[in-house]
Amino acid sequence: AQTVTQSQPEMSVQEAETVTLSCTYDTSESNYYLFWYKQPPSRQMILVIRQEAYKQQNATENRFSVNFQKAAKSFSLKISDSQLGDTAMYFCAFIYNNAGNMLTFGGGTRLMVKP
């Protein structure tokens, strides 16, 4: 079974600064996908960024980037130039290939961006 661990239940960052959220996972699969989802207080979960395990290059989406270390089974999210709208719960999620849409989520990190 796959497990996803987010070791930081809560974090805070000053507006315009950079913050990194940690995620580790455990799997025996070699072909899989990793995601970071954001759940603002309104509760609608939205995809922030995704990474295919077969790609060595780290994914980047505007102010969001990941540090994917496959051997270490680590998948951290870096948010640059933090904005107030980044305040949310962030979930790291894993899915192995051929698992349909069965995501395994970490416990989440609550991020507060302070003005």
Partner 1 sequence: KAGVTQTPRYLIKTRGQQVTLSCSPISGHRSVSWYQQTPGQGLQFLFEYFSETQRNKGNFPGRFSGRQFSNSRSEMNVSTLELGDSALYLCASSVSGRSADTQYFGPGTRLTVL
Judged by the rule CB under 8 A, the positions of this chain that interact with partner 1 are 32-33, 37, 42-47, 50, 52, 91, 95-108
- The closest of 115, 103, 86, 101 to 21, measured between CA atoms, is 86
- Nearer to partner 1 (CB atom), residue 14 or residue 30: 30
Q: Categorise residue 72: left if φ over 0, alpha if ψ from -120 to 50, beta otherwise.
A: alpha
- Nearer to partner 1 (CB atom), residue 19 or residue 53: 53
Shortest Cβ 16–partner 1 spacing (Å): 29
Shortest Cβ 63–partner 1 spacing (Å): 19
- Nearer to partner 1 (CB atom), residue 82 or residue 94: 94
Shortest Cβ 44–partner 1 spacing (Å): 5
Q: Which residues of 60-99 are buried (b: 16+ CB within 10 A; e: fewer)?
A: eeeebbbbbeeeebebbbbbeebeeebbbbbbbbbbbeee
